[in-house]
Amino acid sequence: MGRRVVVTGVGLVTPLGTGVEKTWSALCEGKSGIGPITRFDASEVGVNIAAEVKDFQVEDHIDKKVAKHLELFVQYAVAAAGEALRNAGLQITEENASRVASIMGCGLGGLPTIEKYHQVAMEKGTKRITPFFIPMVIPNMGAGQISIIYGTKGPNLSLTTACAAGTHAVGEAFRSIVNDECDVAITGGSESVICPLAVGGFHAMKALSTRNDQPEKASRPFDRDRDGFIISEGAGVLILEELEHALARGAKIYAEVAGYGLSSDGYHMAAPPEDGNGASRCMQMALKDAGMGPEDVDYINAHGTSTPLNDVVETRAIKTAFGDQAYRLAISSTKSMTGHMLGGAGGIEAVFTALAIKHQLAPPTMNLENPDPECDLDYVPNQARKMKIRAAMSNSFGFGGTNAVLIMKQYEGKP
């Protein structure tokens, strides 16, 4: 048997609260992080709701002078990584730094700063562009700044696979440890693009909910009346660790990472194939990688975006991958409360998956009032559920037809 990988620390910055405790308790209570957009005047856009991070104080996490030159998505990543490291009780030293990786996912990077300095350049000339512009906007700066601030010297990677980026990052970190490229990985996803270009762009695609008068009810995955996703921001970070390394330092273990799948639809730039073929193959690949059968999984944290197409197609894909077991699974979309964090979604949902296993509790899918007849599985409607979770799956699918699936399981000690 090869090297085994466990989750020993978690960190979150989300619209439900900064920190794991705030977010997890709000999630399990079915609270919503969605409300009116405050970052800019959205009255002309057609969509004026989003899931904004509300309680983040950057000086609590990063030196103010350093933070001044970091985009929000980087600030969130660094803060969540700091919480995860403290949570894991992990010290990065000169001796172990080269065996610690920083591997993060991000979809759109510093779009708000691109928007801002494009305006500056057009109105005042390019000489007014800050020298920090390029380092602020490039999407790999989450992973880069985590490495710089916390002193990691192992693999330093950023995945930009749209809404699958966070899950791909955790999967690639898992593989890096299995392949003995590192012993520890700080990994997850972050995003912050609640700005006119992103909101206007997604709205032009008809991807966003326009339920402006009921923000908390707007994200309704698998519900007949869903009309699009809610743009969100934040970060989710995990500490993955090689099992012997974790045991040697007496680390607490949330879950064991068991399998990872990745595939392509090869179909369309923004829509999945109606049969969900790419997604189902991805789930089957993760099951095979974990050495598991469909009957071994109890819970799925669904991609569950609340768009008309995704939720039906994901349901079909789950049925294809799991057969009869699909009807015995508990499935929930936490995006019903957090909104859709784009490239950061897979990071926070990987944290939620580890916490679901640790607490033996499936978070709810909120606002599931009138189930879509084509979405006929058990989506844990409107109330969290205490249940036995031996193994759990987390799904993420992105534009460009890219799919990523993780499987975690209860850690039951050696062998």
Q: Is 10 helix (H, G, I), strand (E, B) or coil?
A: strand
In this prediction, residue 245 carries a pLDDT of 98
Q: Is the dihedral of CA 345, 348, 350, 356 positive or negative?
A: negative
In this prediction, residue 205 carries a pLDDT of 97
In this prediction, residue 2 carries a pLDDT of 84
User: Could you give the percent of the chain with pLDDT greater than 90?
Assistant: 99
The single residue of 168, 203, 245, 340 carrying the catalytic annotation is 340
In whole angstroms, give the CA distance from residue 131 to residue 126. Answer: 11
Contact between 74 and 142 under an 8 Å Cβ cutoff? The reply is: yes
Mind listing the pLDDT tens digit for each residue in 99-135? 999 999 999 999 999 999 999 999 999 999 999 999 9
Global pTM? 0.98
Task: Measure Cα distances from 105 to 67, 140, 246, 404 in Å.
Answer: 20, 8, 24, 12
pLDDT bracket for residue 413 (50, 70, 90): confident
Contact between 257 and 410 under an 8 Å Cβ cutoff? The reply is: no
pLDDT bracket for residue 304 (50, 70, 90): very high
Tell me the sheet residues that pair with 229: 208
In whole angstroms, give the CA distance from residue 66 to residue 344. Answer: 22
In whole angstroms, give the CA distance from residue 210 to residue 102. Answer: 37
The single residue of 163, 182, 195, 282 carrying the catalytic annotation is 163
- pLDDT surpasses 60 at 411: yes
Mind listing the pLDDT tens digit for each residue in 211-227? 999 999 999 999 999 99
In whole angstroms, give the CA distance from residue 169 to residue 159. Answer: 6
Contact between 297 and 338 under an 8 Å Cβ cutoff? The reply is: no
Contacts of 374 (CB under 8 A, 6+ apart): 312, 315
Contacts of 216 (CB under 8 A, 6+ apart): 32, 34, 35
Average pLDDT, the chain: 97
Q: Looking at the chain, which residues constitute the CATH 3.40.47.10 domain(s)? A: 5-248, 260-409
In this prediction, residue 415 carries a pLDDT of 62
Please say if 303 is a catalytic residue.
Answer: yes
The average pLDDT across 14-31 equals 98
The average pLDDT across 150-177 equals 98
Please say if 163 is a catalytic residue.
Answer: yes
Question: 322-329 contacts: CB < 8 A, separation 24 or more?
Answer: 322/283, 322/294, 322/297, 323/294, 325/294, 325/295, 325/297, 326/294, 326/377, 327/377, 327/378, 328/378, 329/297, 329/298, 329/299, 329/300, 329/377, 329/378
pLDDT bracket for residue 354 (50, 70, 90): very high
Bin 180: left if φ > 0, else alpha if -120 < ψ < 50, else beta.
Answer: left
The average pLDDT across 198-208 equals 98
For 5-248, CATH gives 3.40.47.10
Strands 234-242 and 184-191: antiparallel
The single residue of 61, 203, 245, 303 carrying the catalytic annotation is 303
In whole angstroms, give the CA distance from residue 95 to residue 121. Answer: 46
- pLDDT surpasses 80 at 234: yes
Contacts of 127 (CB under 8 A, 6+ apart): none
Domain 260-409 matching CATH 3.30.360.10: the answer reads no
